[in-house]
Amino acid sequence: MTAFLRPGNSAAPEKLRIYLVLYLTFRTIFGSVALLLICQCDGINLIRAFVRKELGMREKTISWRFLTLGSLVLLCLLLMLNALGCKEKTEEVGSEKQAEEVISKEQTKEIVGKEQTKEIVGEELADGLAFELEQVSVSGVDFSGPSRPRLLRRSGEVRRGEIKIDGIEYDVFLAPYRGTDFCLIPKNNPQNYPRWFGAERLNSTHAIGGKYYSFAKTPEGNKLLVRPYEGDFGTFEVGAGGRDIQEIAIQGSLRSKDTAVAVGGELERGFPKPAKSCRLPVGDYLPAIVTVTFGRLSISVSNNYYSDGQRRRGSRTDVYGIKVRQDKPFIFDFSNKPEVMFVSPAKDHRVKLGQELKVEAVLIDRELDIMIRRLNDTTRKEKKEYATPDGEKRTYERNVSLDPKVVITRADGEKVDEGVMPFG
C-alpha cells in the first residue's frame, strides 16, 4: 500500500488513490460516531463501560483500543495529505510535460515548415541562371483570381517551373502557342502578372527590381534561361511639342526586332502606370501599343500595319523609328504632321456604275510609320449600348471619341458623300 501511494509512483492511478483514502477516512469516522451514539443512548460513561461492566475489558485493553483508534485517525489524515501531495505533484509533472510537449510541437512545426519550403535555386551559367521545367496539364493548374492568363485558358499541356529573380519568386509557364507562349506570375501577387502587349512572349524583356531580364529556353525545352541585361540605357520621354500642355504621360509597350519592353511606371494589375519618362535599353523601337495622356486628350498609338490600298503591310518592312540612345533621350511629342492613308480603295481601283465602293482610311505619322488608333476627349462622356449573350441590353459610359469626318468629292469638287469614320 505504501509503495502504491508513494508520490513518485506514476503507475498508481490518481483516482484510485483518492477513493481509497476517502474510504478509510469515512469508515473510521463512521465507526467512531456509531460507537459514541450507542454509548450515549444507553446513558453509560464510555470509559466505565469498557472497564467494568458492559464490555468487561481491562483498562489496559481499553487504552490499547483508544490508541489504535487514534492511530487509525492519524493514519487516515496522513494518507489524505499524501494523496493531496500526489495530486499536486501529478499536476505539476503534468504541466511540465504539457509545456515540454508544446515546445516540442512548436520545434517540430518549425522544422517541418522549413522542410516544406523548397528553396528555389537556379543553375548558375556564365551569363545568367537556368531553372528546371516540367510538363504539366493546364487543367491541373490552380490559378485563383478573376483574370486568368491567356496561356492557361487553353487545353493541353504546358511547361511549368519556379524561378527566383532579385529575391522575388515566380511561377513560369511555357507553351507552343503563337503570340502567347510565355507567362510570368509573381507568387506574392498573382494578379499582377505582366499583361502589357508583348509581355506574354518568350522574347520579351521585363524590368524586375530595377534591372531588365530576358528569357529563353533550352532546345529540349526542359529549362528556362534567365539573363540580366548588361548593356547601356537611354531615356524614352513624352513631350508637348511646343504646345501649352501640362498633363503629359505615356503607358504601354514598345517592340524592337528582338524583344518587347513596357514603357511607363511600375506595374499595376499587370499594366504599367502612366509616366512622363522611363529608362529603356538602347535600341530601335516601334510602338506595339501606347496610350498618351496629352492634356484633355487620350491618344492610342501603334505601329502602322497598313499600306496604301492594302489592309496589310505587304512587302513593306517595319520602321523602327523610336531610337533610344544613351547620350540623348528620345522625345515622343506628335511634332510630325499627320496624314490620311487610304487602305481602301487603292489608287488604281475602278468601280462600275451601281457598284458599292468601300472607303477605309487611317491617320498616320509617315515619318515614324505609326497610326492613331484612338483619340478621346477625357473631359466629355457618352453612353453606349451593347447586348449581352442572352439578349439583354445594357449601357456603359466612356470618353467621347473624336472620330474624324470624311468628305468624298469628285475631281471637279462636287461632294459625293460624307460621314464619320471611327478610329480602329
The per-residue pLDDT for 231 is 95
Which own/partner contact pairs does 218-221 have at CB distance under 8 Å and 24+ positions apart?
218/130, 221/133, 221/159, 221/174
Distance between CA atoms of residues 34 and 43, nearest Å: 14
Which own/partner contact pairs does 81-84 have at CB distance under 8 Å and 24+ positions apart?
82/5, 82/7, 82/21, 83/5, 83/17, 83/18, 83/21
Distance between CA atoms of residues 285 and 254, nearest Å: 6
Angle (CA) 260 266 272, round 5°:
55
Torsion of CA 404, 408, 414, 416, to 10 degrees: -110
Q: Model-level pTM?
A: 0.68
The per-residue pLDDT for 1 is 43
Grid coordinates 503507475 are at which residue?
11
pLDDT bucket at 100, cuts 50 / 70 / 90: very low
pLDDT bucket at 418, cuts 50 / 70 / 90: confident
Average pLDDT score over residue span 402-417:
87
Q: Please check the confidence at residue 414 and state whether its pLDDT lies above 80.
A: yes
Distance between CA atoms of residues 200 and 220, nearest Å: 20
Q: Name the burial class of residue 68, with classes exposed (0-12), middle (13-18) and buried (19+) by CB atoms within 10 angstroms of its CB.
A: exposed
Distance between CA atoms of residues 28 and 16, nearest Å: 19
DSSP-assigned letter for residue 216: E
Which is more confidently placed, 94 or 126? 126
Q: Please check the confidence at residue 272 and state whether its pLDDT lies above 90.
A: yes
Phi/psi class of residue 4: alpha, beta or left (left: φ > 0; alpha: ψ in -120 to 50)? alpha
Cell of 401: 471619341
Question: Where is average pLDDT lowest: 42-46, 276-280, 321-325, 404-408?
Answer: 42-46
> Which residues does 84 contact at the CB level (< 8 Å), separation at least 6?
none
Most confident of 31-35, 101-105, 136-140, 250-254: 250-254
Could you report the per-residue pLDDT of 294-311, keeping only the tens digit for each? 999 999 999 998 887 666
β-strand partners of 238: 332
Which own/partner contact pairs does 349-356 have at CB distance under 8 Å and 24+ positions apart?
349/309
Within 175-321, strands assigned E span 182-186, 205-208, 211-217, 223-228, 233-238, 248-255, 260-263, 267-268, 271-272, 277-281, 283-294, 297-303
Cell of 71: 492511530
